[in-house]
């Protein structure tokens, strides 16, 4: 039997048919085109599922279950997306909508960061570990905790939101309502804002050349690229940004002591430029500094497929 994973994003709907070895053997894709009515989006999810099934050259009768990873907060027991601001979803009966379209009841739903964490835990950077945490540095800071192959979801299915732990009391305003959240300092969005701020203060920085004097072109790579070219301002941005990441990771380690923490998102493509200095900060800061066994810090390995694979395995 096969499982289907759906990665529902603000831009794209990505679907994969996953076999017992966590290989994606068929794919389907549609544009999300949000915001629009939830039924229209779930009709397109059903279309993408049928596309993936056809691509895999199987039938829906051979599919054991369907899992959906979605932004926002989720009521897993009821199959409802309670709230997802970038989709303009509020109390959307996701399981019911998809079940009506496909005539299938074995449908599961969870937060997209949790799905990515589960995918990496089962088939990627955390394979073979007992305790695992995945951190995704993207528009925000996504995170998920997997213990003994199971997601830690808490009493209300909302556990693992580590991007909203405060690392700077009375710091920058976060869209969650608090100030100083890790997300406001360690996300790719935060890095871009920090880069732009540094450029405005350093008009002779090579970062201006890298974006053709158009600050709107700044990306998460700009400061790293400038650092590689010997630019002092770019290096300062990178150093500060890595310190912000490390502060949060030390908190995670001190609280959970997982076997492995993996870092995903586009920033993780920097690999050792990111990991080596992060590990130095963590080695100095963690409470378990004298323990023989320490948490391993690595980059995610599955890329965008992590969410699909994790969603597919929500019934496991």
pLDDT score for 276:
97
Res 293 pLDDT > 80: yes
List the CATH code of the domain at 2-119+305-312: 3.30.420.40
- For 269, residues 6+ apart whose C-beta sits below 8 A from its C-beta are none
Residue whose C-alpha is closest to residue 31's, from 7, 49, 13: 13
pLDDT score for 240:
98
The pair of three-digit structure tokens given for residue 285, joined into one six-digit string? 């800061």
Q: How far is CA 302 from the centre of its chain?
A: 11
In the chain, % of residues over pLDDT 70: 100
CATH 3.30.420.40 fits 128-299, yes or no: yes
Do domains 2-119+305-312 and 128-299 share one topology? The answer is: yes
Place 176 in a pLDDT band, splitting at 50, 70 and 90.
confident
Q: Environment class of residue 12 by beta-carbon count within 10 Å: exposed (0-12), middle (13-18) or buried (19+)?
A: middle
Say if CB 67 and CB 315 are below 8 A apart: yes
What distance in Å separates the CA atoms of residue 64 and residue 2, rounded to the nearest whole number?
6
Average pLDDT over residues 20-32: 97
Q: Could you read off the pLDDT of 262-292 as tens digits, one per residue?
A: 999 989 999 999 999 999 999 999 999 989 9
What distance in Å separates the CA atoms of residue 33 and residue 11, rounded to the nearest whole number?
6
Which of these ranges, 61-65, 221-225, 264-268, has the smallest mean pLDDT? 264-268
- Average pLDDT of the residues of the chain: 95
pLDDT score for 179:
96
Place 201 in a pLDDT band, splitting at 50, 70 and 90.
very high
Res 316 pLDDT > 80: no
**SS3 category, 36:** coil
Average pLDDT over residues 7-27: 96
Place 85 in a pLDDT band, splitting at 50, 70 and 90.
confident
Res 36 pLDDT > 80: yes
What distance in Å separates the CA atoms of residue 227 and residue 240, rounded to the nearest whole number?
12
Place 156 in a pLDDT band, splitting at 50, 70 and 90.
confident
pLDDT score for 74:
93
Which of these ranges, 14-23, 233-242, 287-296, has the smallest mean pLDDT? 287-296
Average pLDDT over residues 294-299: 97
Query: Which one is predicted more confidently, 215 or 1?
Result: 215
pLDDT score for 203:
97
Say if CB 74 and CB 115 are below 8 A apart: no
Say if CB 261 and CB 248 are below 8 A apart: no
Res 158 pLDDT > 90: no
- For 231, residues 6+ apart whose C-beta sits below 8 A from its C-beta are 205, 206, 207
Res 139 pLDDT > 90: no
Taking the domains of the chain in order of start, what are their residue ranges?
2-119+305-312, 128-299
Place 157 in a pLDDT band, splitting at 50, 70 and 90.
confident
- For 288, residues 6+ apart whose C-beta sits below 8 A from its C-beta are 253, 254, 257, 294
**SS3 category, 177:** coil
Say if CB 184 and CB 172 are below 8 A apart: yes
Cis amide prior to 110 (ω within 30 degrees):
no
């Amino acid at each position: 039997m096969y499982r289907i994973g759906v990665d529902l994003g603000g831009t794209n709907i990505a679907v994969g048919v996953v076999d017992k070895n966590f290989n994606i053997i068929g794919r389907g894709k549609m544009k999300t085109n949000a915001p629009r009515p939830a039924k229209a989006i779930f009709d397109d999810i059903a279309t993408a599922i049928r596309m993936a099934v056809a691509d895999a050259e199987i039938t829906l009768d051979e599919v054991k279950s369907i899992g959906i990873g979605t932004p926002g907060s989720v009521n897993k027991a009821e199959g409802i997306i309670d709230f997802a601001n970038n989709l303009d979803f509020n109390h959307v009966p996701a399981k019911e909508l998809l079940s009506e379209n496909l005539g299938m009841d074995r449908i599961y739903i969870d937060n997209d960061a949790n799905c990515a964490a589960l995918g990496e835990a089962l088939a990627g950077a955390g394979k073979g570990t007992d305790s695992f945490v995945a951190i995704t540095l993207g528009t925000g800071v996504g995170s998920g905790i997997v213990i003994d192959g199971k997601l830690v979801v808490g009493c209300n299915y909302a556990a693992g939101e580590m991007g909203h732990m405060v690392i700077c009391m009375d710091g920058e305003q976060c869209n969650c309502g608090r100030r100083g959240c890790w997300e406001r300092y360690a996300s790719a969005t935060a890095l871009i804002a920090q880069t732009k701020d540094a450029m405005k203060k350093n008009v002779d920085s090579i970062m201006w050349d890298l974006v053709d004097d158009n600050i709107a072109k700044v990306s998460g790579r700009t400061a790293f690229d400038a650092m590689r070219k010997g630019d002092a301002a770019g290096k300062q941005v990178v150093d500060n940004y890595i310190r912000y990441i490390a502060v949060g990771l030390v908190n995670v380690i001190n609280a959970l002591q997982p076997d492995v923490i993996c870092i995903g998102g586009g920033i993780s493509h920097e690999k050792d430029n990111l990991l080596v200095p992060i590990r130095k900060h963590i080695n100095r800061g963690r409470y378990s500094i004298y323990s023989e066994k320490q948490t391993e810090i690595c980059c995610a390995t599955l890329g965008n497929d992590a969410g699909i694979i994790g969603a597919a395995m929500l019934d496991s």
